[in-house]
Structure 1
Amino acid sequence: MGILLLIAAVSLYFYIDPQRSNMFPKCTFLQLTGLQCPGCGSQRAIHQLLHGNIMEACRYNTFVIIAIPYILLGWFVEYQSIKHGKCNRIRNILYGRSAIYISAITITLFFLIRNNII
């Protein structure tokens, strides 16, 4: 089931450009404040990444591109923890209290820098 959803998502991004399509939702935060949230541009960034345009993807949302390896590692570790009971130490590092604080600070800094607030 998960693989089918992944195939559907990849197909969607290869055949529908979020830059030109009206089927993708607009960011409510951007429309209300004029500021880009940390997720703004992520659809376009992933679309560009799937097409091999790394620099263009980074132009839309650098944070998402940098976060992808962390997310994939998290999924892998979670799978190993559930299925085999392994990787619990790494899982605690990835999802522990310190990781939450580091993630929150990083996302906040990205938001502030991207909107030229600091």
Structure 2
Amino acid sequence: MGTVSMNHKRTRKNLLPSRLRLCVHRSAKHIYAQIIDDIKGITLCAASSLNLQEGTRADAGMTRKVYIADQVGRQIAEKAKEKGVTKVFFDRNGYKYHGRVKQLAESARREGLIF
């Protein structure tokens, strides 16, 4: 297994055994979200911007990437509801809580996920 950053170790140390983890990864072009059960070592559901088609932005103040992050947040929340997941621990994976990461978290929260 590769090296693990200090921030990731701190995040994993503070996990509650009963909580699942909503892990976010973003690249220059795409954003990904997974709900992970660390005790069982499985990914329950995942969503990404890879299969999203660009649509019109609902809010004129949103950039294209932020709008897509909003859609990914909604997708992951819907998939979590189908699996019966309501409470998760938000793992921003070292990224600042700003821009696309913030929009994904807020849209997932609006759709019913509790952090």
Q: Greater strand percent: which structure?
A: 2
Q: Greater helix percent: which structure?
A: 1
Q: Same fold (TM over 0.5)?
A: no
Q: Which has the higher contact order (CA 8 A, sep 6+)?
A: 2
TM-score by length of 1: 0.28
